[in-house]
């Protein structure tokens, strides 16, 4: 009985402590990446994953308060387009090229996401 109660408590805790999500506008993201989107490779390979070098990103929490989140290799970004399709990838692989956002779904090889036009974005969420 104690074992199943403990297991149930672990499962409930896991579901309640999911990842936090923060909002950022397209304009704010573009401004923060302006001049900071230096490409860097994550692996020493010809097909290295490229990305930005931001260490912190300013975004809005669920209460509308502006906060600065540290950017790590685990920080994700979910972009919702105006047609309600969603694309998720790692934030530190995100780059803005030719009025579009590009990135990679993994750090190990170039699993590029299809470029997303800035004008097609309805919402950007940062996942911690």
Could you report the per-residue pLDDT of 64-115, keeping only the tens digit for each?
999 999 999 899 999 999 999 999 999 988 988 888 999 999 887 778 899 9
Which tokens go with 42?
A: 């994550």
3-29 per-position pLDDT tens digit: 554 554 444 444 444 578 999 999 999
Question: Where does residue 101 rank: exposed (0-12), middle (13-18), buried (19+ CB within 10 A)?
Answer: buried
Which tokens go with 127?
A: 């996942």
Question: Where does residue 104 rank: exposed (0-12), middle (13-18), buried (19+ CB within 10 A)?
Answer: buried
> Could you tell me the residue ranges of all domains in the chain?
20-127
């Amino acid at each position: 009985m104690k074992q199943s109660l403990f297991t149930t408590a672990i499962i409930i805790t896991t579901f309640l402590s999911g990842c936090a999500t923060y909002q950022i506008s397209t304009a704010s993201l573009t401004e923060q990446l302006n001049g900071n989107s230096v490409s860097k490779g994550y692996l020493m390979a010809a097909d290295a994953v490229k990305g930005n070098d931001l260490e912190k990103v300013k975004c809005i929490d669920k209460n509308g308060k502006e906060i600065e989140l540290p950017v790590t290799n685990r920080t994700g970004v979910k972009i919702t387009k105006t047609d309600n399709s969603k694309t998720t990838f790692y934030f530190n692989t995100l780059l803005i090229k030719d009025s579009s956002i590009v990135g990679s779904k993994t750090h190990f090889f170039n699993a590029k996401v299809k470029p997303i036009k800035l004008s097609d974005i309805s919402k950007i969420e940062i996942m911690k």
